[in-house]
A and B are shown apart, each in its own frame.
Chain A
Amino acid sequence: MATVRLSFSPAPVHVRTARLVGVAVARRAGVREDLLDEVRLAIGEACTRAVALHRQYGLADPVLVEMSDAGQYAVRVIDRAPIEAGIGLAALPPDELADESLTDEALTTGVGFALLAGFVEDLQVRPVDEGIGTEVRMVWPVGR
């Protein structure tokens, strides 16, 4: 059961709000102070990815963020985009990052995934249980 649920229309301006809420709940849950920057970045990246997918597919549905602190701090960011768009994430090798042929969108997606994978030890990206969409699930230990 989620401690805090946040649902926001898929606009870039709301991603900051999601980050602020996510970090506030993490702090309250007892996540170590030195992990909070990573929590902030990871929640931001997951929400940015969801917003980008909703805009790409013209979806007005809200992005859902669920935060739960039962024993550990778990955050789920749920989008409603077709699954084939969401799962095919891959980090880019360094020699391709500055490649002229790489589009800005592909670069940002690849870098965003590298940040998620690099900062979140316990990360899952999987189809939602019901309906269309992907869930990015991130878990951090709590220090209590």
Chain B
Amino acid sequence: MELSLATRTVGEHTVLEVGGEVDVYTAPRLRERLLELIDGGARHVVVDLGRVDFLDSTGLGVLVGALKRLRSAGGSFALVCDKEPLLKIFRITALDQVFPLHPTVDAAVAAGPTGAGA
């Protein structure tokens, strides 16, 4: 399935819903959209991976890039993911220790801009 991207605002968070396959071919489009959001002033970004059915190292690299950029701008970055195959990817790469991971968008937003907490 092709990459799909949709943005909405929840409180002070910008939520980017990603669907389809994030790989070496489609990841540049995800990177562009994240840069647009950050350059456009978004400081607290939640990326919802709920409808992603494939994620590779290139996609993970784009997500880490956004995390670094937002942190250095005093913002926050969190991921929403509850699918076991994707969670396994985060565990194997140790990126589960780098990203705040939440099961739902509500939980990510409730955790607040620091990304900590429930």
Contacts and interface: CB of A to CB of B under 8 A. Distances in A.
Interface of A: 12-13, 15-16, 19, 37, 40-41, 44-45, 48, 51-52, 92-94, 97-98, 100, 104, 107-109, 111-112, 114-115, 118-119
A98 B56 contact: no
The 4 closest A-B pairs by CB, nearest first: A118-B92, A112-B57, A94-B94, A108-B61
A43 to B, nearest CB: 10
Main SS at interface, chain A = helix
B89 A115 contact: yes
A118 B93 contact: yes
Contacts, number: 77
5 contacts: A107-B64, A109-B57, A114-B93, A115-B57, A115-B92
A115 B85 contact: no
Contacts of B60: 108, 111
Contacts of B98: 94, 97-98
A37 B92 CA distance: 14
Given A97-B94, A97-B98, A108-B58, A41 B67 contact: no
Given A16-B21, A44-B23, A48-B23, A94 B97 contact: yes
Interface string B86-109: 000100111101100000000000
A77 B25 CA distance: 18
Contacts of A13: 25
Given A15-B24, A107-B61, A44 B56 contact: yes
Contact of B94 (A15, A45, A52, A114): A114
Contacts of B94: 92-94, 97, 114
Contacts of A114: 92-94
B23 A111 contact: no
A48 B64 contact: no
Most buried by B among A12, A13, A94, A108: A108
Contacts of A52: 24
Contact of A45 (B57, B61, B65, B68): B57
